[in-house]
Structure 1
């Protein structure tokens, strides 16, 4: 069973600069964060504390240092309207390969 890892926004806000983020897909739409570093992806998602992270290698690892991780997959897809959506980013460490699906 794959585990979904939830991290607190406080952990990321300690390493991320404050300020507004620019979303690729326009206001209210899910940006394309696939392939981005986790810090940049979280910024594009406006530091949303409800974003969940899933270990892309299925090991159930927790994201403790966001700068060391990258996004392999995202749910929902880019362009989806973000109102009331659960956002899950599948991540691996930057030196690891994303699994092909």
Structure 2
């Protein structure tokens, strides 16, 4: 099974536990939070592009093992029609800013 298929399956499994949409169609503050918490805040129908904060192009297979270091757009901005970008690292790694 490809990493994309595994990630899709994992997110589909998580979808049953979260809200359907982000509150009010605005970008919530998810930097510094776990990736599962970020998905719950965004709503699982929000298109998300993940970027490896280490630049190693790693794939996120288990969202619970990752945290968000940066987000685009910024909190409070309207959710764009295209995918948002979350920069993530493994939970035991530093974001580079002390988080």
TM-score (norm 1): 0.78
Question: d(CA) in 1 for partners of 2:47 and 2:8?
Answer: 8
**Structure holding more helix per residue:** 2
- The structure 2 residue matched to 1:93, chosen from 70, 90, 95, is 90
Aligned-pair CA distance for 1:28: 1.0
In the alignment, which residue of structure 2 is the partner of 1:14? 13
Q: Quick one: structure 1 residues 9 and 47, their matched pair in 2 at CA, closer, same or farther if it must change by over 3 Å?
A: farther
State the SS of the aligned residue for 1:70: strand
Q: Quick one: structure 1 residues 15 and 46, their matched pair in 2 at CA, closer, same or farther if it must change by over 3 Å?
A: closer
Q: Over residues 39-64 of structure 1, what are the superposed CA-to-partner deviations in whole Å (9 max), with x where a residue is unaligned?
A: 00011110135201000000000000
**Which consecutive residues of structure 2, in runs of 5 or more, have no partner in the other structure?**
none
Q: Quick one: structure 1 residues 19 and 62, their matched pair in 2 at CA, closer, same or farther if it must change by over 3 Å?
A: closer
Aligned-pair CA distance for 1:86: 2.6
Aligned residues: 93
In the alignment, which residue of structure 2 is the partner of 1:42? 39
**Which consecutive residues of structure 1, in runs of 5 or more, have no partner in the other structure?**
1-5
**How well do the aligned residues superpose, as a CA RMSD in angstroms?**
2.3
Question: d(CA) in 2 for partners of 1:72 and 1:19?
Answer: 21
